[in-house]
Structure 1
Amino acid sequence: METADMYISGVGSYIPGAVTVEDAVAAGRYSADEVELYGLASVAVAGDVPAPEMALRAARSALARSGRSPTELGLLLYVSTWHQGPEGWPPQAYVQRHLVGDGVLATQLRQGCNGMFAALELAVGRLRAAPGRPAALLVAADNYGTPLVDRWRMLPGAVAGDAGSALVLDTEPGFARLASVCTVSVSQAEEMHRCAEPLFPPGILEGRRVDFAAHNDEFRRRAVVEGDGTGVLVTLDERMAEVIDQALSEAGIKAGDVTRVACMNTSRDIAEQVCEIRLDIPASRSTWEFGRTIGHCGASDQFLALERLVRTGELGPGDHLLMFAYGPGVTISAAVVEVLESPVWARTRGGDA
């Protein structure tokens, strides 16, 4: 989707304190072999801070930095990958009550780890269709510190971190432009995140722990041993290349114009695959060094990186950030952000507006 008419006027984040992998190894939660294999350093752990509260804190920061008032918002999209609170309760209502107010369409997306990319695409359509409200607030948050998931073993090559992120998408010029955003699907790989688990009754209701790493391993084993899914694995690689090419083309740039790359916060291999193999640029341009300190924070990874890069001055006017993510389904997303100016909050001590 070409989005040259869409801007980013504010971003915000909430990242709790971190637990080091050394402490996790000492406690028997993580393997020393995995420390060596994946190179992760620490993971953000929120304790008993609820995900909706983290989302609210990030949203307050993003909205304040945008200069927008809640009455100028036409949409609130709340993105999550894990449970948010009492079953049947909508977490977006918490942010709406405490920040945005009732004059905004608010809803939740459960698109997985690339849910914020889907939120961007939906928000673009909404803002173009309803021009009376010039901005949309997108938030994401997760707290994985619950009994039915082990953050240290939940995902292949990753540790699940807790965080909240937020972004204000704007129809009027902001500090950055959303140059493009796009998503492709490989639905024949939908088993990757449920392999060998029945659809009913839902596992969470029977107390089955969530283990995407085991599902992924079983899916790939079947693909290789039984020979019924090898083509799907090839297709995933092809669609990854396709969506990155599409995002770059719609943004009007080439791979060599990319200043930084924000992938999901997993092992170094993913960053190297995207940067060095696909884009032919140094992996040092990725945000992996930052990501390895906070863990894979659900749908927030790339947007936490964007906020940090701008706040620290690592992205400046004229720079381009390529963002990339996978989600269950399987869906693969990419987006390009062009920084237009250094915002006031990035030039202020503490990073506040």
Structure 2
Amino acid sequence: MRIRDVYVESLGTFVPEPMSVEEAVARGWYPAEDAAAGGWLSATVAGDIEAPEMALRAARQTFERSGLSPGSVGLLLYPDCWHQGPEGWHPQYHLQRQLLMDDALAVELKHGCTGMFSALRLAADHLAARAPGATTGTPGTEGPGDAAALLVTSDNYGTPLLDRWRQSAEFIMGDGACALTLTRRPGFAELVSLTMSTIPEAEELHRCGEPLFPPTVTTGRPLNFASRIDAFKQKVVTEGLGSLALFKIQKTLVDCVGQALEEAGSTLEEVAWVLPNNASKEQTEVGFLAALGLPLSRSTWEYGRTIGHTGAGDQFFSLAHLLSTGRLSAGDHVLMFSVAPGVTVSAAVFKIHSIPDWARP
């Protein structure tokens, strides 16, 4: 999908202090053999700072760095992966109240690690529908509050039903929040293209061996993706089902990336950086980049291994890191992609137009 006239006005993050892998191993939380195999250095740990509080801090930083006021935002999207507070309560309204965004449409998205890509798609459509000359179908809905969208993701995984160090062979979990504002007026970066594809036949990969009812969180059963994925792979061996679904994941990633680059008028050779999910060295190198013919050095893995897999925010933490460390220049293209339960594969290309003042050393 070619995106037109959608710009990143500003970007904010809240990154908690990291806990080193050595400390986690010494405390008996992380098996030494897993630590050696994964290549991780640390994971950010927020302690008892609530996910919505981290989201609020990242959002406030975003507004401090932009020329926007919260009142100019017509859409607030809050993708998250883990529980945010009391069951039945919705965190996006906490931000809406604290930021005085009374007139915005506020929506929480449950779309796993690809949640920010889903939010980009919805926000781009929202802004396009309110462009000059666009027909929304609802007379009188256009106004100053439609000029921008705020996207925020935040998670704190330090809870009894999730073990951040043993969640999967492919990742350890890191806490944090990031936020960005999108507008139709030129900003420091432009969303040029976005593609998303779902592989329904791989849906069982992240639930295999678990009941659908009652929901496991209501029974106090911890989340463990490693055991579910192992159960699915065993089912492939014993029943001969699902092997094509596993193969299709990598093929779909290649197709999504190719389409995003083609629609952006760019190539892999022209991309300055590749920003994938934060994953183990093997998963990043073999599961993601090898299919694209890219070396590990072209990706942000070296940074990702210091914060862990944050859920939906990995690519935008990496973007903020590249900006603040002087590794991007005006004219650069960056490629982001994500693979998430569903299985959903997403890819996006951004063009950097300028380096914002807040990112300069």
Report TM bin, short chain.
Answer: over 0.9
Aligned to 2:151: 138
* SS, match of residue 260 in structure 1: strand
* SS, match of residue 98 in structure 2: helix
**Alpha carbons of 1:241 and 1:250: their partners in 2 closer, same or farther (altered >3 Å)?**
same
**In structure 1, how many angstroms separate the alpha carbons of the residues matched to 2:100 and 2:57?**
13
Aligned to 2:96: 96
Aligned to 1:151: 164
**CA deviation digits over 1:304-353, x for unaligned, max 9?**
11111112211110111111111111101111111011111112x5xxxx
* SS, match of residue 328 in structure 2: coil
**In structure 1, how many angstroms separate the alpha carbons of the residues matched to 2:50 and 2:94?**
11
**In structure 2, how many angstroms separate the alpha carbons of the residues matched to 1:270 and 1:322?**
18
On the 8 A contact 2:73/2:101 being kept in 1, the answer is: no
* SS, match of residue 335 in structure 2: strand
The match for 1:234 among 226, 237, 247 is 247
Corresponding letter in the other structure for 2:68: R
Unaligned runs of 5+ in 1: none
On the 8 A contact 2:54/2:177 being kept in 1, the answer is: yes
Query: Cα distance, 1:276 vs. partner?
Result: 4.7
On the 8 A contact 2:274/2:336 being kept in 1, the answer is: yes
Compute the TM-score of the two structures, normalised by the length of structure 2.
Answer: 0.94
Aligned to 1:127: 127
On the 8 A contact 2:174/2:308 being kept in 1, the answer is: yes
Q: 1:114-263, aligned counterparts within 5 Å?
A: 114-131=114-131, 132=143, 133-263=146-276
On the 8 A contact 2:250/2:291 being kept in 1, the answer is: no
Unaligned runs of 5+ in 2: 132-142
On the 8 A contact 2:254/2:292 being kept in 1, the answer is: no
Aligned to 1:39: 39
**Alpha carbons of 1:99 and 1:217: their partners in 2 closer, same or farther (altered >3 Å)?**
same
Corresponding letter in the other structure for 1:27: R
On the 8 A contact 1:275/1:286 being kept in 2, the answer is: no
Aligned to 2:66: 66
**In structure 2, how many angstroms separate the alpha carbons of the residues matched to 1:275 and 1:195?**
23
**In structure 1, how many angstroms separate the alpha carbons of the residues matched to 2:356 and 2:251?**
37
Query: Cα distance, 1:269 vs. partner?
Result: 2.3
Query: Cα distance, 1:280 vs. partner?
Result: 2.8
- Count how many residue pairs are aligned between Structure 1 and Structure 2: 348
Aligned to 1:51: 51
Aligned to 2:303: 290
Query: Cα distance, 1:130 vs. partner?
Result: 2.5
* SS, match of residue 12 in structure 2: strand
* SS, match of residue 259 in structure 1: strand
Identity %: 49
Query: Cα distance, 1:275 vs. partner?
Result: 6.8
**CA deviation digits over 1:152-177, x for unaligned, max 9?**
11123211110001111111100011
* SS, match of residue 40 in structure 1: coil
**In structure 2, how many angstroms separate the alpha carbons of the residues matched to 1:118 and 1:195?**
25
**In structure 2, how many angstroms separate the alpha carbons of the residues matched to 1:256 and 1:280?**
10
**In structure 1, how many angstroms separate the alpha carbons of the residues matched to 2:73 and 2:100?**
8
Corresponding letter in the other structure for 2:190: R
**In structure 2, how many angstroms separate the alpha carbons of the residues matched to 1:274 and 1:225?**
23
**Alpha carbons of 1:285 and 1:276: their partners in 2 closer, same or farther (altered >3 Å)?**
same
On the 8 A contact 1:275/1:283 being kept in 2, the answer is: no
The match for 1:327 among 316, 327, 340 is 340
**In structure 1, how many angstroms separate the alpha carbons of the residues matched to 2:242 and 2:229?**
12
Instruction: Indicate the RMSD between aligned Cα atoms, in angstroms.
Output: 1.3
Corresponding letter in the other structure for 1:163: G
Corresponding letter in the other structure for 1:34: D
